[in-house]
Structure 1
Amino acid sequence: MIYLKNLLFQDKFHSRWLILVIDLMVVLLSLWTSLYFKNRLQFDPISLYYMLFYCSNAVLVFMIMKIHTCIIRYSNTRDMMRILITVLASNVTFLLFYHLFFAFYLKIDVSGLMDVLLINFFITSSMLMCMRIIIKDVFKYIEATSYKVEKENVLIYGSNEPSILIKNALEAQKGFILNVQGFIDTGVDRISKCIEQKQVYPIKSIDMLKKRYDIKSMLITSEDIKIDGKRKAVEKCIELGIKVIIVPSSDQWINGKPNLNQFKDLKIEDLLERKPIKICNEHILDDIKGKRILITGAAGSIGSELVRQVLMYSPEFVVLCDRAETPLHDIQMEIEDGLYGNRTRIFIADIQNAGRIKTLFNLYRPQIVFHAAAYKHVPMMENNPTEAILTNVWGTKILADISIEFNVEKFVMISTDKAVRPTNIMGASKRIAEMYIQSLNNLLFEEHFFNSDPSKGNQTRFITTRFGNVLGSNGSVIPRFKAQIEKGGPVTVTHPDITRYFMTIPEAVQLVLEAAVMGKGGEIFLFDMGEPVKIADLAANMIKMAGLVPGKDIQIVYTGLRPGEKLYEELLNAEEEVIPTYNKDIKISKNIPVSYAKINNLIKDLLELNLHNEVDLMVSKMKTILPDYISNNSQYEKLDIKLIDKQMVN
């Protein structure tokens, strides 16, 4: 068997001339059979002429049509169609030649020729196609029995063309370790039917199939998995400990074949993703095309995605500003490897440094500013409140003020849901920044203040976008859980009931760009974050997706809320009203802006206390600015008690 396999799979054995000879032998046999049916083996000289001239004609037509050049073990429906066309062409050309030469020139009776050719067409076509099918099946059998590989039984979700293509591709590859046992589908009209000898099962049968065939994985196409049926199948697999594998679409296969290296395990992010967000790309293009764009925090998760997406709308150039050298270099290399390298400018700066930022504006004169630079990690900022104020508040003020000075058209600030009824330094600092941005916009449009030429009026529009956690961001919970699972656990969750909103980074940035187009100035845009996710459930699902059992293979340990951490995040204050927009995923928070003079003076007071390292006084001042800022599980809870006592005395 091994010798036969080696012989058959050598390319030199598959000489196209040998295949041509075999095809002609089939043609000869078919013609002989046709004449037998017609003349009952009573051959005459005319019959011999038939055979001689028909075979000669067939050689010419077959060589022109090149059906012998196809690799038989990869024959498909198109190859079968070529055989039909070739045999038909052979018969038609022979018929024309025979009428001209025998009937017209030699005056020989050719009656009955059509009957022979008609019979011959069906016999020849059938025999040529059957020969190829048999040879193909022999190849598959030899291939399957020659490679002693322990195969893994799998299911494929769906019974449509992409799913069948995956099944056929897997079976066609030698030495492939995946053995398809059936299809999973929700279509009632397909359940219990067979497709290419594989049955289609409902989702409820996955449990039975796992027990019967020891199913290890389910393959699923890289399309959106949140289609209801597909999502239910995925959740059932996770529950049963069946690994879910994402298969790339066929146009991404290497040389038309799926490669195991291209197969990816389902990530928890795939389960949390939502239906694609619809945005108006034409409006964004009109807003950005040909403009000079500045993106601060360009090396961060949101900032770098802003760079990628903004470049797609043909700006004049994009300035990437960040103080983190290595991540900024990484995003620069990524962009230069693509199509937009000549449209980027790199500027290393700290937004706390007003002189350096003014140099940037002098050099590049940005027309639109996307401000994504910020400190975002709650526990770190609880322990380093001075830096939170300097970057999130003072740095934002510097950027906003200089944007007005240089007549920037639009200033878009990225905020956070932690700014709503803040319980920590980070959230409070972002809320104060929101208030300053709103007050500044209100001042500019109502009083025409802070303008070098008041007669022209300053057109800078200040817009704030507010959303929750993004999937895959640096330091987020999902990479941490993944690392803990890889180490064998335990997985640490702060509280059994803690929930968070999640959104993918590309989704968040798409909505930021859409909100930037909508903004008239002074708005706080809120994004629809979907349903909150229980972090304990998230951890349990990630453990199951790794093929392990929560509480048995890997423990989930509750460590207690971290300093400043909330159980539940909010996107809106109770006092804020919501205004819908033309995009159902974007709403506007309506609130009364604080006066510019008041918030500006309060921020200066904060900076003064910061410079003297008066941390408790600085945090107390923040609580004065934000009456709803109540610390949670933090060293600054004592300041809340003092404020309450002070209010009671007064």
Structure 2
Amino acid sequence: MKYSFHSVCNRLHENKKYVNAYTILLVDIFLSVMSSFITLLFADSFIIDLSRLTYGVIIGGSCVVSLLVFWGLRVNRNIIRHATIKSIGKMGFAIFLKELLLAGMILVSGSRLFGQHLFACAVIDFLVTSVILVGFRVTLVLVYDFTISLYGSGKTRVLVYGTGDKSVALKTRMHTSKHYHVVGFVNPDRYLKSCVLSELPVYYFEDEQHFSRFVKKYNINGVLYPSREEARREADRLVRFCQGIGVKNLFSPPIDVLGDGLKKTIIREIRIEDLLGREEIKVNTREIEAYFAGKVVMVTGAAGSIGSELCRQLAAFGVGYLVLFDNAETPMHELRLELERNFPNLKFTPFVGDVRQKERLRMVFEKYRPRVVFHAAAYKHVPLMEENPCEAVRVNVVGSRLVADFCVEYNVDMMVMISTDKAVNPTNVMGASKRLAEIYVQSLGLAIERGEVKGKTRFVTTRFGNVLGSNGSVIPYFRKQIERGGPVTVTDPGITRFFMTIPEACRLVMEAATMSTGNQIYVFDMGEPVKIVDLAERMIRLAGYVPNEDIKIKFIGLRPGEKLYEEVLSNEENTIPTGNAKIRVARVRKYKRDEVLRAYDQLAELALAVRIEDTVRLMKQVVPEFKSKNSRFEILDKINN
């Protein structure tokens, strides 16, 4: 018997279909007519003698009026299991309207069925109908909640963090979850301690020992955070408590189409990316949407971490046509499937090509005539480019030059180039190659402004810090090392980096594109730098291990071209403020196009001929602040000096 009841609860929980609205309408009419019949019996017994004609008229009238009112107000369309005060109030109004129409019908017909007792009988009918119809709904909700709570005994028992609107809304969404059962709320301070919120208790924990005792007593399996900000606030307290005793830290990303295109509640374990960073940059999404809506937009490097997120956000902003340009076949195929699944109305074309191939680029510009180009194609790994400087120049410098030149030739309105903080006082080939790309596009834009080159394209550059979770970045690398059992390798105990999230980086690009008047390099306040060794320790703890006990941390020394500290991107000395307090314009030396053209032509020739030392020497001449660190090219700096 117990097994069959549990099976019924299980089927009830998993059944996502609801009772047909017409069935609900028939039940409501039946209960309304029954209520009127009960009222007639009560009135006939205690108030006034009623004839059979009166019974017939009232029963028939109640049936017709109930049909008209309930159908007209669509009370049968409300899903009973999710009934709210508002829906119950709507039912009460429908019953009140029923009584008015029924009494009006009697008065207009001239019948004196109830004599001077009409008002009293109408009030009694209203009360009886309200009790039966509202009681019917409340009973169904209680029965449903009871069966769900029984079924929930096998689900993950979680506490929802916070007592604000987001937390309450999250608890409501979790009500029908197949995997999670909310047993209460966690308040970050003593306020509301021991109170009840949304029918669940509110708890407060003074220390880890108190939290541990509670978890064991009530068999708590996880703490669920409604936002990244809430999780970050508790990174050094409640999150750490959970890590220490093996309780899951869970996170519910916001219901949002920008990211994965899904509009549903998703629960996942907190990752290190969620705990790092600071308050994210706020941008004017209405202006961004208005600017890109209906335009043909091209993204180079579209299959990469930044490029693919740009494509998702552009798709959500309703671009007219999206051109994806990348030479990575498999990631491009995966992005295509994702966009087809999540944005079925999006018009787009995946175009396999290399920014170094002039004729392939010409073909895509000729065929699609983009109005805006986001140039995200680049080689980005510092040690790898230090070993292959000619390829860094061919992609990051020559490729960027070709894209910029075609933007001018085909009258593109704007080109937005993705750069890096490593272009600031570069100490490696990769950073220097990105600085060279910045110099070229800015000099080309200035030449257009001065009338030296015919064209209308505006050039915008955005400098990024390290992007959390991007392909090949430190977090996926550490995660793989932890999965293998360690050790986790860190270059130096003192090494620090600035970090940002991929969606945040892409919102910065969008904001830069809409606010720019052309030829600016945008940077932004990246907050405080993060020590990489602290990052490694936190990732180990998030994985449920103890640093240097279960998983070792090993220091291996700085890699070729690597800095111990990254340059601060934005301060009052090296930047100019904009309308967004978090975004600033970099003060950089401006180059005339005529001054750099010959050097760029020579760089292209040297890189193609794989004359490595000559290539790097010329890079240092064009970018005099390029001083190699921990690299075989340091000797060139000594020779130049």
Corresponding residue of 1:265: 269
Output aligned runs, 1:482-521, within 5 Å: 482-521=479-518
The answer to whether the aligner puts 1:217 opposite 2:219 as a matched pair is no
What is the alpha-carbon distance in structure 1 between the residues aligned to residue 77 and residue 366 of structure 2? 67
Deviations 1:275-322 (A, max 9, x none): 453445676567666766543323322333444445666766554333
Q: TM-score, with normalisation over the residues of structure 2?
A: 0.78
What is the alpha-carbon distance in structure 2 between the residues aligned to residue 593 and residue 71 of structure 1? 64
Residue type of the partner of 2:497? R
Per the TM alignment, residue 399 of structure 1 is displaced from its structure 2 partner at its CA by 3.7
Q: Residues 140 and 172 of structure 1 are in contact (CA less than 8 Å); yes or no, is this contact kept in structure 2?
A: no
Deviations 1:507-562 (A, max 9, x none): 32333343344444543222332332232333333334344444444443333322
Deviations 1:353-374 (A, max 9, x none): 3444445555555555433221
Q: Residues 469 and 476 of structure 2 are in contact (CA less than 8 Å); yes or no, is this contact kept in structure 1?
A: yes
The answer to whether the aligner puts 1:476 opposite 2:473 as a matched pair is yes
What is the alpha-carbon distance in structure 2 between the residues aligned to residue 28 and residue 289 of structure 1? 61
Q: Sequence identity of aligned pairs in percent?
A: 38
Per the TM alignment, residue 52 of structure 1 is displaced from its structure 2 partner at its CA by 8.2
Q: Quick check: 182-191 or 211-220, which moved more?
A: 182-191
Q: Quick check: 485-494 or 524-533, which moved more?
A: 485-494
What is the alpha-carbon distance in structure 2 between the residues aligned to residue 323 and residue 402 of structure 1? 18
Q: Residues 315 and 346 of structure 2 are in contact (CA less than 8 Å); yes or no, is this contact kept in structure 1?
A: no
The answer to whether the aligner puts 1:417 opposite 2:418 as a matched pair is no
2:210 equivalent among 208, 211, 225: 208
Distance 1:626 1:198, change over 3 A: same
Deviations 1:72-107 (A, max 9, x none): 766654564466456546655665677789xx767x
What is the alpha-carbon distance in structure 1 between the residues aligned to residue 120 and residue 131 of structure 2? 17
What is the alpha-carbon distance in structure 2 between the residues aligned to residue 483 and residue 32 of structure 1? 76
Per the TM alignment, residue 377 of structure 1 is displaced from its structure 2 partner at its CA by 0.7
Q: Residues 35 and 125 of structure 2 are in contact (CA less than 8 Å); yes or no, is this contact kept in structure 1?
A: no
Per the TM alignment, residue 376 of structure 1 is displaced from its structure 2 partner at its CA by 0.5
Deviations 1:583-636 (A, max 9, x none): 323222223334545533444444454455442343344334444333333333
What is the alpha-carbon distance in structure 1 between the residues aligned to residue 559 and residue 132 of structure 2? 76
2:182 equivalent among 180, 183, 186: 180
What is the alpha-carbon distance in structure 2 between the residues aligned to residue 287 and residue 124 of structure 1? 56
Distance 1:436 1:294, change over 3 A: same
Q: Residues 34 and 120 of structure 1 are in contact (CA less than 8 Å); yes or no, is this contact kept in structure 2?
A: no
Residue type of the partner of 1:194? V
What is the alpha-carbon distance in structure 1 between the residues aligned to residue 374 and residue 511 of structure 2? 13
2:251 equivalent among 237, 246, 250: 246
Q: Residues 525 and 570 of structure 2 are in contact (CA less than 8 Å); yes or no, is this contact kept in structure 1?
A: no
Per the TM alignment, residue 419 of structure 1 is displaced from its structure 2 partner at its CA by 1.2
Q: Residues 61 and 86 of structure 1 are in contact (CA less than 8 Å); yes or no, is this contact kept in structure 2?
A: no
The answer to whether the aligner puts 1:618 opposite 2:619 as a matched pair is no
Q: Structure 1 unaligned segments of length 5 or more: list them.
A: 253-257, 452-456
Deviations 1:46-73 (A, max 9, x none): 5999888766766666666488999876
1:327 equivalent among 306, 331, 334: 331
Residue type of the partner of 1:622? M
Residue type of the partner of 2:184? G
Per the TM alignment, residue 378 of structure 1 is displaced from its structure 2 partner at its CA by 0.8
Output aligned runs, 1:209-608, within 5 Å: 209-212=211-214, 213-221=218-226, 224-226=227-229, 231-233=232-234, 236-241=237-242, 242-247=247-252, 262-272=266-276, 274-275=278-279, 277-280=281-284, 293-310=297-314, 317-336=321-340, 338=343, 341-342=346-347, 344-363=348-367, 368-404=372-408, 410-443=414-447, 445-446=449-450, 448-449=451-452, 451=453, 457-572=454-569, 577-608=574-605
Distance 1:26 1:467, change over 3 A: same
Q: Residues 467 and 571 of structure 1 are in contact (CA less than 8 Å); yes or no, is this contact kept in structure 2?
A: no
Output aligned runs, 1:627-642, within 5 Å: 627-640=624-637, 642=638
Per the TM alignment, residue 381 of structure 1 is displaced from its structure 2 partner at its CA by 0.8
Q: Structure 2 unaligned segments of length 5 or more: list them.
A: 13-17, 258-262
Residue type of the partner of 1:370? F
Q: Quick check: 516-525 or 426-435, which moved more?
A: 516-525
Per the TM alignment, residue 416 of structure 1 is displaced from its structure 2 partner at its CA by 0.9
Q: Quick check: 464-473 or 569-578, which moved more?
A: 569-578
Q: Residues 232 and 276 of structure 2 are in contact (CA less than 8 Å); yes or no, is this contact kept in structure 1?
A: no
Specify the SS of the correspondent of 1:428.
helix
What is the alpha-carbon distance in structure 1 between the residues aligned to residue 487 and residue 356 of structure 2? 40
Distance 1:211 1:100, change over 3 A: same
Distance 1:233 1:116, change over 3 A: farther
Specify the SS of the correspondent of 1:531.
coil
Distance 1:636 1:129, change over 3 A: same
Corresponding residue of 1:192: 194
Q: Quick check: 543-552 or 562-571, which moved more?
A: 543-552
Distance 1:244 1:47, change over 3 A: farther
Residue type of the partner of 1:507? E
What is the alpha-carbon distance in structure 1 between the residues aligned to residue 8 and residue 589 of structure 2? 83
Specify the SS of the correspondent of 1:211.
helix
Corresponding residue of 1:153: 157
Greater gyration radius? 1
Distance 1:97 1:480, change over 3 A: same
Specify the SS of the correspondent of 1:631.
coil
Residue type of the partner of 1:270? D
What is the alpha-carbon distance in structure 2 between the residues aligned to residue 90 and residue 356 of structure 1? 73
Specify the SS of the correspondent of 1:508.
helix
Specify the SS of the correspondent of 1:619.
helix
What is the alpha-carbon distance in structure 1 between the residues aligned to residue 77 and residue 311 of structure 2? 50
Residue type of the partner of 1:529? M
Q: Residues 291 and 367 of structure 1 are in contact (CA less than 8 Å); yes or no, is this contact kept in structure 2?
A: yes
Q: Residues 20 and 68 of structure 1 are in contact (CA less than 8 Å); yes or no, is this contact kept in structure 2?
A: no
What is the alpha-carbon distance in structure 1 between the residues aligned to residue 102 and residue 572 of structure 2? 90
Q: Residues 24 and 58 of structure 1 are in contact (CA less than 8 Å); yes or no, is this contact kept in structure 2?
A: yes
Q: Residues 149 and 177 of structure 1 are in contact (CA less than 8 Å); yes or no, is this contact kept in structure 2?
A: no
What is the alpha-carbon distance in structure 2 between the residues aligned to residue 214 and residue 353 of structure 1? 61
What is the alpha-carbon distance in structure 2 between the residues aligned to residue 235 and residue 309 of structure 1? 32
Specify the SS of the correspondent of 1:392.
helix
Q: Residues 57 and 90 of structure 1 are in contact (CA less than 8 Å); yes or no, is this contact kept in structure 2?
A: no
What is the alpha-carbon distance in structure 1 between the residues aligned to residue 290 and residue 79 of structure 2? 52
Per the TM alignment, residue 214 of structure 1 is displaced from its structure 2 partner at its CA by 3.9
Q: Residues 26 and 127 of structure 1 are in contact (CA less than 8 Å); yes or no, is this contact kept in structure 2?
A: yes
